[in-house]
C-alpha cells in the first residue's frame, strides 16, 4: 500500500535530489550533452560577486520578514485572545491574504505602490511627504516593498499559530501571577512570552525557511531589479536555469540553497534546547 507513494516520491523527489547534485558537477545547456567539470561550478560560484550580493539580499529580506511576521502576529494574537466580539470575522479578515494567490497580491500591490497613480504615494503626499519613494522602481525601496507584501501575506497564518499557543497556556499561571500582584505588562513578559517560546521558535523556523525560498513576488513585481536590488537566491537560480540555460551553475546554486536550509534547520534545533522553555 505504500508503493504508489514510495514510487512517486522516489521518482519525483529522491532521484531529482541526487540528479540535481550530479548536474551541479557539469556544464550543461540542455541542447548538447552535459560536460563533467567536477566542482568548477562551486568554485565559480564562490568567486562570483553577484553570488554574495544575492546571498546578502536574501538574508536581509529573510531577517526583515521573520522579525515582522513574528512581532505583528504576536501582538494581534494577544489582542485577539480575550473576550473579543466578532472573532470569526477578524480571523477571516486576517486570513484573506494567506489564501490569496501570489499573482493577485502582486497585481494589487503593484498598483498600490505605483509611484504616480498608486494610492500609497497619494496618501504620503497628503501627509506632507513631498517626494515619496518610487517603491518598485527604486534600488533601496524595492526590497522594502516586497517585504511589506510578504509580511502582509504571512500575518494571518502566524497569528492563528500564536493564538493556538496562547490558548494552550493554563489559566492557573495567570491566576498565580494575579495573586502575586502582577500587572498586565508583567504577565505578558513573565508568563505569556516565556510560555510561548516553543511556538515562537516554530514560527521562526517556518518563516526563515519559506523566506529563503521567495520567488513568486520577485518574479511578479520586480524581476529581480532595479539593477539586481531584489535578486534573491531562488530567482537567481531560476534565471540561470531557464533564461541563461546554465543548468550546471543553477544546480550548484540549488545545492547551496539546500545546504543553507539544512543548516538553518539544524542550528535552530540546537538553539531550541537552549532557550525554549517547557512546562
Partner 1 sequence: MGNVRIKLIISYTILVIGALSMILPFIWMLLTSFMSNSQIFSYPPEIVPEPFLWQNYPEIANKIPLFRYFLNSMIVSIATVIGQVATCSMAAYAFARLNFKHKNILFFVFLGTMMIPPQVNIVPLFFLMRELHWIDTYWALIVPGIFGGFGIFLLRQWFLSFPKELEDAARIDGCNPFMTFWHIALPLAMPAIVTLGIFSFITSWNSFMWPLIVTNSDVMKTLPVGLAAFKGSFRETTEWAQLMAASVISVIPVIIVFILGQKYFIKGIMLGALKE
- In the region spanning residues 109 to 128, those forming contacts with partner 1, defined by CB under 8 A, are 109-112, 117-119, 122
| CA 102 – CA 105 distance, rounded (Å) | 5
Binding to partner 1 by residue 157, rule CB under 8 A?
yes
**Does residue 244 belong to the site contacting partner 1 (CB under 8 A)?**
no
Mask for 78-97, x = binds partner 1 (CB under 8 A) = xxx-xxx----xxxxxxxxx
Give the residue, chosen from 39, 242, 244, 269, that forms a contact with partner 1 under the rule CB under 8 A.
242
Kindly state the smallest distance separating residue 108's Cβ from partner 1, in Å. Answer: 5
Is 263 a binding residue for partner 1 by CB under 8 A? The answer is: no
Task: Give the ranges where 49-192 is alpha helix by DSSP (H).
Answer: 49-80, 87-99, 102-112, 119-126, 141-167, 171-179, 184-187
The one among 177, 261, 272, 276 contacting partner 1 by CB under 8 A: 261
Q: Determine, following the binding rule CB under 8 A, whether residue 141 of this chain makes contact with partner 1.
A: no
Q: How many residues bind partner 1 (CB under 8 A)?
A: 88
DSSP string, 183-200: -HHHHIIIIIHHHHHHHH
Name 151's Cβ contacts closer than 8 Å, sequence gap at least 6: 65, 68, 69, 72
Site for partner 1 in 37-66 (CB under 8 A): none
Does position 210 interact with partner 1 (CB under 8 A)? The reply is: yes
Told to check if 241 binds partner 1 by CB under 8 A, we report: yes
Report phi then psi at 36, rounded to 5.
Answer: -75, 125
Of positions 50, 56, 104, 263, contacts partner 1 by CB under 8 A: 104
Question: Under the criterion CB under 8 A, does residue 103 sit at the interface with partner 1?
Answer: yes
The DSSP-derived string for 16-51 is: HHHHHHHHHTEE--SSSPPEE-TTHHHHHHHT-HHH
Amino acid at each position: 500500500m505504500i508503493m504508489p507513494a514510495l514510487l512517486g516520491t522516489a521518482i519525483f523527489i529522491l532521484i531529482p535530489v541526487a540528479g540535481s547534485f550530479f548536474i551541479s558537477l557539469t556544464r550543461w545547456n540542455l541542447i548538447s550533452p552535459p560536460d563533467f567539470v567536477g566542482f568548477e561550478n562551486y568554485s565559480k560560484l564562490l568567486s562570483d560577486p553577484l553570488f554574495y550580493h544575492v546571498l546578502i539580499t536574501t538574508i536581509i529580506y529573510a531577517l526583515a520578514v521573520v522579525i515582522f511576521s513574528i512581532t505583528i502576529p504576536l501582538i494581534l494574537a494577544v489582542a485577539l485572545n480575550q473576550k473579543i466580539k466578532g472573532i470569526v470575522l477578524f480571523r477571516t479578515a486576517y486570513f484573506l491574504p494567506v489564501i490569496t494567490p501570489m499573482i493577485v497580491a502582486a497585481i494589487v500591490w503593484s498598483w498600490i505602490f505605483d509611484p504616480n497613480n498608486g494610492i500609497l504615494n497619494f496618501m504620503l503626499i497628503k501627509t506632507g511627504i513631498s517626494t515619496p519613494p518610487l517603491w518598485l522602481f527604486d534600488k533601496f525601496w524595492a526590497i522594502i516593498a516586497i517585504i511589506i507584501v510578504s509580511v502582509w501575506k504571512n500575518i494571518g497564518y502566524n497569528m492563528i499559530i500564536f493564538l493556538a499557543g496562547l490558548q494552550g497556556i493554563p489559566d492557573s499561571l495567570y491566576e498565580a501571577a494575579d495573586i502575586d500582584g502582577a500587572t498586565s505588562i508583567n504577565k505578558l513578559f513573565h508568563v505569556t512570552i516565556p510560555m510561548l517560546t516553543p511556538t515562537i521558535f516554530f514560527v521562526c523556523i517556518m518563516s526563515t525557511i519559506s523566506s529563503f525560498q521567495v520567488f513568486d513576488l520577485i518574479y511578479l513585481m520586480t524581476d529581480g531589479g532595479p539593477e539586481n536590488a531584489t535578486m534573491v537566491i531562488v530567482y537567481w537560480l531560476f534565471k540561470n536555469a531557464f533564461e541563461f540555460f546554465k543548468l550546471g551553475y543553477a544546480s550548484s546554486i540549488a545545492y547551496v540553497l539546500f545546504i543553507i536550509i539544512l543548516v538553518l534547520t539544524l542550528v535552530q534545533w540546537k538553539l531550541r534546547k537552549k532557550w525554549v522553555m517547557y512546562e
